[in-house]
């Protein structure tokens, strides 16, 4: 029974696709199932494909949506080592050779594959033709393709198309298929695509596949079989029901599991299939799959697999994996409960380290119990004997010390770790990030880049790249390289794309630079989004986001909203974010200024500078005192001059000139300062100095 497809005409869609590929990173076709998106994409690829060295197709399917990189497994190598950032970077580089990439049914991509597509679009490394159905949920990275104006959006809604009528027609077509052809679709409803050899054996031989192909139900693509249209397997799955789908899934698991998985993607696909089958995998295999999902950054899948492993048998590795997956989702209490069930006295030293590191980090950040975490870390250090274990614990303690507001102590410990031959990648990651940010805030700018680069190269844990990056952007801002600071912060954020919490943390870094530049409206937009995303987590970036938001809103005169942001910052601030106490005090200064209380604002700014200086954060104190001069503090000059002896930098010199001009009420000097501010991109400071000049 033929299906009466009502499709969109080829023109002008093909012209728009060509224009999108020519003028942007490509085009996205948006329309309900059955309107001819794939056909249009195929025609467009045929028409413009000769302009490219190669054309590749990536076809997403519903079963693939739960497996990292499943849709891309045939065009990229997903390595057995390396975490999310590295895997995405390598994948982007391998695909970024100027090829044309057609991504069909992108709404069915897993989040990591969607992030890869977004990265390709942002970088322009590949030209894209993407098809999307608007009727189902899609990853944020997919909707951002047109929301961020990266691809030409082409909406397809041909007159006469009716979803209900089409569904009925598809159901009739599927029901009329010969039994062997229908059987092929049944297996594809469970997993899609499937190897030709495997589905032929399961469905009754190659003739069954051939009959399904002749009927127009499936397409044989090389060594794989896929449905001719996604609606076919949707209809089959709906008709079969749960018990029958479970039986078919069990048959597939038995067949596909007979040989070792060829790569990590195949391993994860098999593990997901087995979860809802009557052929459960051995606990160790499920635990391994959970670790792989965690490594690749799919926290939801990692949690699901780790819980499945623990339901079957005690497994220490699965328990640790589950704890990480929960903590990194911001579910600190759940993670702590999982780890609390372990008896540490029964652990070997290596197992003790596997257990202690996530527990200490979770206590410090997610549970907001820094004193407990610090004591726990010290107790653990007293129980281990190897230099490697002690060095790693010291590296984490350096990060604790920094966040608790003692960057000098943090740098001391971190430098010792970085000089140790016993430091592994985890230790170097923690210590390098702590050394970079501590050095920057102390004003030791020459000592920022080397540990930052070592930390980023170590890649462990991944979010520490933002700590390192914050050290570098802080140094750049103070040395007058504001555009370079914004470029670096933007690069870190774009690299993460829309994955949380990394995206939000990156936006905090960008916003910090934007505030220095005086681009307050843009900073507020980023910080509102970042603060909301970070609120459920325990990261100290959350309080900082509210602090910076209050600063920006205060400078804009948004009194009520600035007060609310300040209140939220104060309620979330504690020992784990004590490093940012000066930012909190400066938020009070600008919030007070917004209320028209300049005397109170100057007093709060002075307290912010004293707080920074007490904490050994000379560079931060200089940046605060620049704002004090903007507020009209006639006593700021002496404080700046004293700090400049410790931290001689462009912004410090400008702040000193500004403060002296304010004290002396020197209009000419204020005008000169305004021009110097403008020259390095500090527009709001320039405007304030010019206004003070009268």
Kindly report, residue by residue over 518-533, the tens digit of the pLDDT. 999 999 999 999 999 9
- Asked if 193 and 226 touch (Cβ cutoff 8 Å), the reply is yes
- Please write the tens of the pLDDT for every residue from 474-493: 999 999 999 999 999 998 88
Asked whether residue 121 carries a pLDDT value surpassing 70, the answer given is: yes
* Stronger pLDDT, 566 or 456, i.e. the higher one: 566
- Asked if 7 and 131 touch (Cβ cutoff 8 Å), the reply is no
Rounded to whole angstroms, the Cα distance separating 296 from 87 reads 8
Q: Residue 1 — very low, low, confident or very high, per pLDDT cuts 50/70/90?
A: low
Rounded to whole angstroms, the Cα distance separating 322 from 327 reads 9
- Domain 378-547, CATH: 1.25.40.10
pLDDT at 460: 64
- Please write the tens of the pLDDT for every residue from 19-70: 999 999 999 999 999 999 999 999 999 999 999 999 999 999 999 999 999 9
Please indicate whether the domains covering 163-256 and 283-358 agree at the CATH topology level.
Answer: no
- Please write the tens of the pLDDT for every residue from 347-374: 999 999 999 999 999 999 888 899 999 9
Q: Locate 304 and state its tokens.
A: 């699901």
pLDDT at 128: 98
What is the CATH T-level fold of the domain 163-256, as seen in this structure? Arc Repressor Mutant, subunit A (1.10.10)
- Please write the tens of the pLDDT for every residue from 596-618: 999 999 999 999 999 999 999 99
Architecture of domain 597-693: Alpha Horseshoe (1.25)
Rounded to whole angstroms, the Cα distance separating 77 from 291 reads 18
Asked whether residue 83 carries a pLDDT value surpassing 80, the answer given is: no
pLDDT at 138: 82
pLDDT at 462: 63
Rounded to whole angstroms, the Cα distance separating 580 from 608 reads 10
Architecture of domain 13-155: 3-Layer(aba) Sandwich (3.40)
Helix (H) or strand (E) holding 470: helix 464-478
Q: Residue 214 — very low, low, confident or very high, per pLDDT cuts 50/70/90?
A: very high
Q: In Å, how far are 245, 306, 324, 387 from 347, measured between CA atoms?
A: 42, 20, 18, 18
Which DSSP state fits 223?
Answer: T
Tell me the mean pLDDT in the region 458-465: 74
DSSP string, 399-449: HHHHHTT-HHHHHHHHHHHHT-TT--HHHHHHHHHHHHHHHHHHT-GGGTH
- Please write the tens of the pLDDT for every residue from 89-114: 889 999 998 899 999 999 999 999 99
Torsional class of 627: left (φ above 0), alpha (ψ -120 to 50), beta (otherwise)? alpha
CA atoms within 13 A on the CB side of 481: 13
| Residue appearing with tokens 């007979």 | 258
Q: In Å, how far are 74, 189, 492 from 69, measured between CA atoms?
A: 10, 20, 22
Rounded to whole angstroms, the Cα distance separating 641 from 648 reads 10
Q: What are phi and psi of 289, to 5 degrees?
A: -65, -40
SS3 content of the chain, % helix, strand, coil (to 5): 70, 5, 25
Which DSSP state fits 462?
Answer: T
N- to C-terminal Cα distance for the chain?
A: 83
Q: At what angle do helices 283-296 and 316-328 cross, to 10 degrees?
A: 30
Rounded to whole angstroms, the Cα distance separating 511 from 572 reads 19
pLDDT at 694: 79
Asked whether residue 461 carries a pLDDT value surpassing 70, the answer given is: no
- Put simply, whether the predicted model's pTM sits higher than 0.85 gets the answer yes
Which DSSP state fits 63?
Answer: G
Bridge partners of residue 194, in order along the sequence? 225
The pLDDT > 70 percentage for the chain reads: 99
Largest CA distance in the chain: 94
- Domain 283-358, CATH: 1.25.40
Sorted by where each begins, the domain ranges of the chain are 13-155, 163-256, 283-358, 378-547, 597-693
């Amino acid at each position: 029974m033929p299906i009466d497809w009502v499709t969109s005409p080829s023109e002008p869609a093909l012209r728009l696709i060509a224009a999108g590929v020519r003028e942007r990173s490509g085009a996205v076709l948006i329309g309900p199932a059955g309107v001819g998106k794939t056909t249009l994409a195929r025609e467009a690829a045929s028409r413009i494909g000769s302009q490219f060295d190669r054309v590749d197709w990536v076809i997403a399917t519903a079963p693939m949506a739960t497996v990292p990189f499943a849709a891309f497994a045939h065009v990229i190598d997903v390595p057995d080592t390396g975490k999310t950032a590295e895997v995405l970077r390598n994948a982007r580089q391998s695909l970024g050779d100027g090829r044309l990439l057609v991504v069909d049914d992108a709404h069915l991509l897993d989040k990591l594959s969607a992030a890869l597509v977004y990265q390709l679009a942002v970088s322009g490394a590949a030209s894209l033709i993407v098809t999307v159905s608007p009727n189902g949920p899609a990853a944020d990275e997919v909707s951002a393709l047109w929301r961020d104006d990266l691809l030409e959006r082409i909406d397809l809604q041909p007159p006469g198309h009716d979803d209900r009528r089409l569904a009925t027609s598809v159901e009739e077509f599927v029901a009329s298929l010969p039994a062997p052809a229908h059987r092929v679709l049944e297996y594809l409803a469970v997993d899609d695509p499937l190897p030709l050899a495997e589905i032929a054996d399961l469905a009754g031989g190659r003739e069954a596949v051939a009959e399904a192909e002749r009927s127009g139900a499936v397409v044989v693509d090389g060594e794989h079989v896929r449905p001719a249209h996604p609606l076919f397997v949707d209809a089959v799955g709906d008709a079969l029901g749960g018990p029958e789908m479970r039986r078919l899934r069990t048959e597939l698991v038995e067949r596909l599991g007979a040989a070792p998985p060829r790569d990590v993607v195949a391993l994860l696909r098999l593990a997901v299939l087995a979860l809802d089958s009557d052929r459960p995998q051995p606990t160790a295999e499920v635990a391994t799959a959970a670790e792989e999902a965690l490594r690749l950054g799919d926290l939801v899948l990692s949690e699901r697999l780790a819980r499945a492993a623990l339901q079957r048998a005690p497994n220490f590795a699965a328990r640790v994996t589950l704890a990480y997956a929960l903590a990194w989702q911001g579910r600190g209490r759940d993670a702590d409960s999982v780890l609390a069930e372990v008896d540490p006295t029964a652990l070997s030293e290596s197992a003790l380290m596997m257990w202690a590191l996530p527990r200490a980090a979770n206590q410090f950040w997610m549970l907001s119990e820094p004193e407990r975490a610090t004591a726990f870390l010290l107790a653990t250090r007293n129980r281990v004997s190897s230099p490697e274990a002690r060095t790693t614990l010291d590296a984490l303690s350096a990060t604790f010390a920094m966040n608790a507001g003692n960057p000098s102590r943090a740098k001391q410990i971190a430098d010792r770790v970085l000089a140790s031959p016993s430091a592994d990648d985890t230790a170097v990651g923690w210590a390098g990030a702590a050394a970079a940010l501590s050095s920057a805030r102390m004003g030791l700018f020459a000592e920022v880049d080397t540990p930052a680069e070592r930390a980023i190269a170590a890649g462990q844990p991944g979010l520490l790249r933002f700590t390192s990056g914050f050290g570098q952007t802080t140094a750049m801002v103070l040395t007058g390289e504001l555009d370079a600071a914004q470029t670096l912060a933007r690069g870190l954020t774009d690299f993460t794309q829309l994955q949380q919490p990394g995206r939000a943390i990156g936006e905090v870094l960008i916003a910090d630079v934007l505030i220095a530049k005086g681009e307050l409206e843009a900073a507020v937009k980023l910080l509102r989004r970042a603060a909301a995303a970070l609120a459920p987590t325990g990261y100290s970036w959350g309080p900082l986001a509210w602090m910076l938001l209050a600063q920006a809103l205060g400078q804009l005169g948004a009194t009520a909203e600035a007060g609310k942001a300040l209140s939220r910052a104060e309620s979330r601030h504690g020992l784990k974010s004590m490093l940012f106490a000066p930012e909190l005090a400066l938020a009070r200064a600008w919030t007070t200024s917004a209320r028209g209380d300049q005397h109170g604002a100057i007093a709060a700014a002075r307290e912010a500078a004293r707080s920074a200086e007490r904490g050994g954060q000379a560079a931060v104190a200089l940046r605060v005192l620049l704002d004090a001069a903007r507020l009209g503090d006639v006593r700021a000059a002496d404080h700046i001059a004293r700090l400049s002896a410790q931290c001689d930098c462009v912004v410090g010199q400008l702040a000193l000139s500004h403060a002296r001009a304010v004290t002396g009420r020197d209009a000419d000097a204020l005008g000169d300062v305004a021009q110097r501010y403008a020259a390095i991109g500090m527009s709001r400071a320039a405007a304030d100095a010019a206004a003070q000049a009268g």
